[in-house]
Amino acid sequence: MSTDFDHDLLIQLYDVARHMRTYADQLARKMGMTRAQMIILARLERQPDISQTELAAAAEVAPITIGRLIDRLEEMGLVKRCGDPGDRRAWRLRLTPAATPVLHEIERARAKLHLEITQGIEPAMLGTMSRGLRQMKGNLSGRRPMKASA
Over residues 37-89, the pLDDT tens digits come to 998 999 999 998 999 889 988 888 888 999 999 999 999 999 999 988 888 88
CB atoms within 10 A of CB 118: 13
Please state the length of the chain: 150
Q: What is the DSSP letter of 79?
A: E
- Determine the pLDDT at residue 1: 44
Q: What is the pTM of this model?
A: 0.76
**Residues 102 and 119 sit within 8 Å (Cβ to Cβ):** no
Q: What is the DSSP letter of 7?
A: G
* pLDDT over 90 (residue 24): no
Nearest-angstrom CA–CA distance, 29 and 4: 35
Give the pLDDT band (50/70/90) at residue 145.
low
Give the pLDDT band (50/70/90) at residue 137.
confident
Q: Which of these CATH numbers, 1.10.3720.10, 3.40.50.300, 3.40.50.970, 1.10.10.10, describes 9-117?
A: 1.10.10.10
